[in-house]
Amino acid sequence: MMIDWTDYIDKTNGYNPSQLLMRMEYMLQSLDGLHVLDCGCGAGNDLAFLIQKGAMVSGFDASRYAIDICGKRLSHQANHIIRLEHASFEDFDYHRYDVVVCNSSLYFCKEVSFEQVWRKITHSIVLGGLFCGTLLGNEDGWNNFEFDTTSFKKPEVFTLFSDFEILLFEERNKDGFSSNGQAKHWHSFHVIAKKIK
Ligand SMILES: C[S@@+](CC[C@H](N)C(=O)[O-])C[C@H]1O[C@@H](n2cnc3c(N)ncnc32)[C@H](O)[C@@H]1O
């Protein structure tokens, strides 16, 4: 089942960037001039932060509405945008990036396509570049819903990063609420990792 992200995009438009991204920026000290790809960029909060920090950005999202919102809110910084496209993980034409960001978005890549998508993402990161993103845990409540998700057990996450040095790894596994206020069990892995092979 496809999710309609319109309400989520409206609700989160103008929110702070993700904590993970801010931590990555702190680690790197400078994003100036780096090319960063934001996969599933939503309302563009992470893109706005990246641009503010001097990065050149590309972004895509499977929601056309999200891309329209990003295009409007970032139009005055067009000189920092390399590509902004309506595309899915599966069909985006990946180039090469210093950093790839996937914040709460890879969760929704179809399981059947994940392996190929992951190969494309990891190949697109330059040697010494970073992955900064979240992966869905196998105990997350969304695994029981009808929409497509791909989730992992902890050892599987480490296998995904065999060509990386993991700089930050956090597992979150707790009850909470979804963005529309419904009770939900959250299980996710938060990873910042440097490509070494
Ligand atoms: C929970 S939101 C996160 C948005 C943003 N990264 C953030 O942190 O605010 C998930 C985003 O992933 C996008 N998405 C879902 N499935 C996708 C797919 N197969 N390919 C690309 N984007 C997808 C949705 O349109 C939505 O904008």
At 106, which CATH number? 3.40.50.150
Q: Cβ(92) to ligand 1 under 6 A?
A: no
Span from the CA of 105 to the centroid of ligand 1 (angstroms): 4
Q: Whose CA is nearest to atom 9 of ligand 1?
A: 42
- State which H helix or E strand residue 104 sits in: none
Instruction: Give residue 17's pLDDT.
Output: 98
Q: Whose CA is nearest to atom 16 of ligand 1?
A: 108
**Are 52 and 31 contacting, i.e. CB atoms less than 8 angstroms apart?**
no
Q: Cβ(105) to ligand 1 under 6 A?
A: yes
Would you mind telling me the total number of residues written for the chain in this entry?
197
Instruction: Give residue 2's pLDDT.
Output: 75
- State the virtual CA torsion across 89, 55, 134, 165 in degrees, nearest 10: 110
Q: Name the DSSP letter for residue 144.
A: G
Q: Decide if 185 is inside a domain.
A: yes
Helix axes 45-52, 19-28, angle to 10 degrees: 20
Q: Decide if 1 is inside a domain.
A: no
Span from the CA of 108 to the centroid of ligand 1 (angstroms): 7
Question: Cα 168–169–174 angle (5° rounding)?
Answer: 135
CA distances 168 to 63, 75, 89, 120, Å, are 29, 33, 24, 22
Q: Whose CA is nearest to atom 18 of ligand 1?
A: 88
C-alpha Rg value of the chain to the nearest Å? 16
Instruction: Provide the number of structural domains found in the chain.
Output: 1
**Tokens in use for 53?**
């920090």
The contacts of residue 127 (CB under 8 Å, 6+ apart) are 195, 196, 197
Instruction: Give residue 143's pLDDT.
Output: 85
The contacts of residue 91 (CB under 8 Å, 6+ apart) are none
Q: Decide if 56 is inside a domain.
A: yes
Q: Decide if 78 is inside a domain.
A: yes
Which burial class, exposed, middle or buried, applies to 193 when counting CB atoms under 10 A from its CB (0-12, 13-18, 19+)? buried
Domain that holds residue 41: 6-195
| Residue matched to tokens 């959250």 | 186
Instruction: Give residue 1's pLDDT.
Output: 65
- b/e code 33-43 from CB counts within 10 Å (16+ = b): ebbbbbbbbbb
Instruction: Give residue 74's pLDDT.
Output: 98
Instruction: Give residue 27's pLDDT.
Output: 97
Q: Cβ(20) to ligand 1 under 6 A?
A: no
Instruction: Give residue 57's pLDDT.
Output: 98
Specify the pairing of strand 183-195 against strand 125-137: antiparallel
How would you write the pLDDT of the chain (197 residues) with one tens digit per residue?
678 999 999 999 999 999 999 999 999 999 999 999 999 999 999 999 999 999 999 999 999 999 999 999 999 999 999 999 999 999 999 999 999 999 999 999 999 999 999 999 999 999 999 999 999 999 999 887 777 899 999 999 999 999 999 999 999 999 999 888 889 999 999 999 999 99
Pocket test for ligand 1, best of 20, 61, 178 (most atoms within 8 A of CB): 61
Instruction: Give residue 164's pLDDT.
Output: 98
**Are 69 and 47 contacting, i.e. CB atoms less than 8 angstroms apart?**
no
Q: Whose CA is nearest to atom 10 of ligand 1?
A: 105
